[in-house]
């Protein structure tokens, strides 16, 4: 885990950062539908898991910009940027109707990531422990799949005044719309380090990355 300390006086969002860490601590979130038709076709053609493929694309997108890799050290009141962030995925157990968090390391190499993510999932299926350990995994972001419903909106609430900068991303069941497979995705970021443009940018980057990945 490596990071650099951001000089808050030179930070390009200096004014916004001050306002949303001092005057109005809040987050910004958005739900939108993205076209996953080519990713579904690619997954079927290659015999790979759609879920893991999307998890890779999502991790790649969130690592592509410093804005999505920001962190806050409350002990020293420092704004930092991690060299890399990794997905915390969640495995659902049908028998207990509970989830197990899975800490998966992001690798830019798709083959390596895919193999390790699948292994992580298989190991998680063997336990029923919740096992969330945020203290030892500060540069992990939440990546949670909601496969039971193709929702239209989703809101994640955090305690008022809590400066949590890691992205929280959820996605649901895709459905056919005008011959395309459209999947709901929800993105939550702290308003101190992101605004509507940066949240919306995630959706644009996801569709661009899907197109590149599948071609």
What value does the mean pLDDT take over residues 45-56? 98
Predicted confidence (pLDDT) at residue 159 exceeds the cutoff of 90 = no
SS3 8: coil
| pLDDT tens-digit series, residues 52-67 | 999 999 999 999 999 9
Predicted confidence (pLDDT) at residue 162 exceeds the cutoff of 90 = no
The pLDDT value recorded for residue 167 is 97
Nearest partner of 179 among 69, 37, 79, judged by Cα = 37
| pLDDT tens-digit series, residues 88-113 | 999 999 999 999 999 999 999 999 99
Cα-Cα-Cα-Cα torsion 127, 84, 52, 89, nearest 10 degrees, comes to: 30
Q: Give residue for tokens 């800490």.
A: 103
DSSP state of 41: H
% residues pLDDT > 90 (the chain): 91
Domain boundaries, given as residue ranges, for the chain: 3-214
Q: Give residue for tokens 């997905």.
A: 87
Adjacent-strand bridge partners of 187: 30, 169
Q: Which CATH number fits the domain 3-214, given the four candidates 1.10.3720.10, 3.90.25.10, 1.20.120.160, 3.30.559.10?
A: 3.30.559.10
| pLDDT tens-digit series, residues 125-156 | 998 888 889 888 999 999 999 999 999 999 88
Query: Are 154 and 186 contacting, i.e. CB atoms less than 8 angstroms apart?
Result: yes
The pLDDT value recorded for residue 73 is 95
Predicted confidence (pLDDT) at residue 180 exceeds the cutoff of 70 = yes
């Amino acid at each position: 885990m490596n990071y650099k300390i951001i000089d808050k006086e030179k930070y390009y969002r200096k004014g916004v950062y001050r306002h949303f860490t001092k005057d109005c601590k809040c987050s910004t979130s958005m739900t939108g539908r993205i076209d996953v038709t080519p990713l579904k076709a690619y997954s079927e053609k290659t015999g790979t898991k759609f879920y893991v493929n999307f998890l890779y694309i999502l991790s790649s997108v969130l690592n592509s910009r410093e804005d999505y890799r920001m962190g806050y050290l409350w002990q020293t009141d420092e704004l930092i940027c991690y060299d890399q962030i990794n997905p915390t995925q969640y495995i659902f157990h049908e028998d207990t109707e509970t989830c197990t968090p899975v800490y998966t390391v992001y690798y830019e190499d798709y083959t390596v990531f895919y193999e390790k993510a699948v292994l992580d999932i298989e190991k998680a299926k063997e336990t029923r422990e919740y096992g969330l350990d945020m203290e030892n995994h500060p540069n992990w972001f939440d990546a949670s799949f909601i496969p039971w419903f193709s929702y239209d909106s989703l809101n994640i609430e955090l305690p008022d005044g809590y400066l949590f900068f890691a992205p929280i991303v959820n996605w649901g069941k895709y459905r056919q719309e005008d011959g395309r497979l459209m999947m709901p995705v929800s993105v939550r970021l702290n308003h101190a380090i992101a605004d509507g443009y940066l949240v919306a940018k995630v959706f644009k980057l996801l569709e661009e990355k899907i197109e590149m990945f599948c071609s």
